[in-house]
A and B are shown apart, each in its own frame.
Chain A
């Protein structure tokens, strides 16, 4: 497909477990963003990649959250020692360059029980 793809679409995990969320951006897009959306709220910025490097990770809430983009395409958001408060929809977006339109994926709904 031509859009941003996120897998899995849903993830249920137990408190304390480790999870990985994957994002496949639109081909050729150099900028990639991760956002977190809680129920009834707007997306909240987590981290932004330009190519392989994290240009801005100021939105990551604590050191349990980490993201990588080793080849400048696919990105993985990693959450260690999950807590119930981590439950949310995690959205990924990509854009051709930093200053152009960002297109979002469908999101991964994470539920920590």
Chain B
């Protein structure tokens, strides 16, 4: 079945450094790749997404890259701040046909040390 692998499971950086989280997916038909941030006791919050017709997308300090050939996509956070500390999830979705569910990675716990 479809699978999304996410690495690393934990990541600790100093404030101001960059953080990179990587994901691979198994279903080559996947065409939508969102990233979610989840703080303790809250639901996942969409922070950025990318579709398969785009290789890179940036929103202020956050960027996502997609390599469809290799079935890789990555989240890049620059100039990290303590409030970036949370669990980040990547996900993949095939938006055609009747299947609409997101397949999530297992998450990366990011800690930003002041």
Contact = CB atoms under 8 A, between A and B. Distances in A.
B101 A106 contact: no
A63 interface: no
Contact of A55 (B6, B100, B106): B100
B43 interface: yes
B89 interface: yes
Contacts of A103: 46
A106 B49 CA distance: 20
A98 B102 CA distance: 10
Interface residues of B, number: 25
A104 B43 contact: yes
B104 interface: yes
Contact of A44 (B98, B100, B104): B104
A62 interface: no
Interface string B29-47: 0001010100001111110
19 contacts: A33-B102, A35-B104, A42-B4, A42-B107, A43-B44, A43-B102, A43-B104, A55-B98, A55-B99, A91-B43, A98-B100, A99-B32, A99-B95, A101-B34, A101-B46, A102-B102, A104-B45, A105-B43, A107-B42
